[in-house]
Amino acid sequence: VILERVQLLAKENDLLFPLNFGAKGSAQIGGAISTNAGGLRVFRFGMTRSLVLGLEVVLMDGTILSSLKKIIKDNSAYDLKQIFIGSEGTLGVVTKAVLKLSEAPRSRNSAFVGINGFQNVVQFLKFTDKELAGTLSGYELIWNETFQKMTTPPSLSKAPLSYDYEYYVLIESLGSDQAKDHVALENLLEGALGESIIEDAVLAHTDSDLDWFWKIREDVHVIVSQCAFDQHFDISVPIPLIGKMIADATKKLKEVDGVTDVYPFGHIADGNIHFVIGKENDSVELKNKINDIVYGPLMAIGGSVSAEHGIGLHKKDYLSLCRTPEEIAVMKSLKKAFDPKSLLNPGKVIEINL
């Protein structure tokens, strides 16, 4: 079943399936589970693994491993489903799932905010989280150049704020009372402006404002379509270190011969940054040089080469930058136990000796 269909079915029953990302119209639940997809509401609801109550998986030897219970707590020994969630189809094939739904929120409010200084991006996150008392569900960061690209033609979306700020944050609150929550967000923004944490803000007043704001963030294709030989990243970095890490990486990337564009943005409340990089050619040498700049600092700062998109083939060589040899050895033991002939997605994620 396609993710968007699950979202709609939940909505028709006054419920919410909170998993949400740009590919919702094509991604299947099996794919989302296998990649442990994250997306736009992880800060509040968690990644796919926290939205799965039960799972049926078919193993390579034909065994049907079925645990389709609808219970939340189950500490009866190992939680086997979690081994398959995020394993990118290398350990078994997901055939059924019991998903965890939430009560549908009765209010949805969003605002675009202009901020200078990364310390203020962090400060505003803490401020918003405290003030919204559990209803903050999205906190997306867009760097200035990326914001400009997302809001100038051929993009069909116009900019809701001027281009005067270093960072643009799109926040979302999901609550219980539309009028009250709208005022609460308005007051919060006034408070943050008063304390000079933020420079400017614009609140979505209508559903079409909400669509406009979120289309800007979700339509990454508008950037990708303007970058030749696009190379993508999905890294995790401890939140306070993101500003400097991205500034350093962007500077180094722009100095590389053959790099034409660098566009960072991300799910910053989760410490997750995406990059789209445009290039003059598709050479392996250029690709590796870019990988070294982006992945190089991650080990020292305790980051990850994949926040939510997985390892697949492209990031296999960099797994050891964020996983210890002992962890990788245990992963290989698991692969050998579940798929000794390496027939499931062979060569992806980790290699085993046959």
Ligand X SMILES: Cc1cc2nc3c(=O)[nH]c(=O)nc-3n(C[C@H](O)[C@H](O)[C@H](O)COP(=O)(O)OP(=O)(O)OC[C@H]3O[C@@H](n4cnc5c(N)ncnc54)[C@H](O)[C@@H]3O)c2cc1C
Contact set with ligand X (CB under 6 A): 21-23, 26-28, 30-32, 34-35, 37-39, 88-89, 93-94, 308-309, 345
Q: Tell me whether residue 35 or residue 304 sits nearer to ligand X (CB atom).
A: 35
Tell me how far apart the alpha carbons of residues 217 and 39 are, in angstroms, rounded to a whole number. 12
Tell me how far apart the alpha carbons of residues 345 and 280 are, in angstroms, rounded to a whole number. 32
Residues 297/310, Cβ–Cβ less than 8 Å: no
DSSP H or E segment with residue 247: helix 242-255
- As given in the structure block, the two tokens for residue 141 are 């960061």
Q: Tell me whether residue 296 or residue 312 sits nearer to ligand X (CB atom).
A: 312
Instruction: Check the CA dihedral 304-306-310-313 and report its sign.
Output: negative
Tell me how far apart the alpha carbons of residues 211 and 44 are, in angstroms, rounded to a whole number. 20
CB of 21 to ligand X, least distance (A): 3
Q: Tell me whether residue 204 or residue 223 sits nearer to ligand X (CB atom).
A: 223
Task: For the chain, state the CA radius of gyration.
Answer: 21
CB of 291 to ligand X, least distance (A): 19
CB of 63 to ligand X, least distance (A): 15
Residues 310/88, Cβ–Cβ less than 8 Å: yes
Tell me how far apart the alpha carbons of residues 341 and 354 are, in angstroms, rounded to a whole number. 6
Q: Tell me whether residue 252 or residue 348 sits nearer to ligand X (CB atom).
A: 348
CB of 295 to ligand X, least distance (A): 19
CB of 138 to ligand X, least distance (A): 11
HSE (CB half, 13 Å, CA atoms) of 114?
Answer: 15
Q: Tell me whether residue 188 or residue 222 sits nearer to ligand X (CB atom).
A: 222
Q: Tell me whether residue 88 or residue 172 sits nearer to ligand X (CB atom).
A: 88
Angle at which helices 118-132 and 242-255 cross, to 10°:
140
Residues 282/256, Cβ–Cβ less than 8 Å: no
Q: Tell me whether residue 26 or residue 176 sits nearer to ligand X (CB atom).
A: 26
Task: Identify any residues that bridge with 279 across adjacent strands, giving them in sequence order.
Answer: 259
Residue whose C-beta lies closest to ligand X: 31
Q: Tell me whether residue 22 or residue 258 sits nearer to ligand X (CB atom).
A: 22
CB of 139 to ligand X, least distance (A): 14
Residues 95/56, Cβ–Cβ less than 8 Å: yes
CB of 3 to ligand X, least distance (A): 7
CB of 179 to ligand X, least distance (A): 31
Residues 29/45, Cβ–Cβ less than 8 Å: no
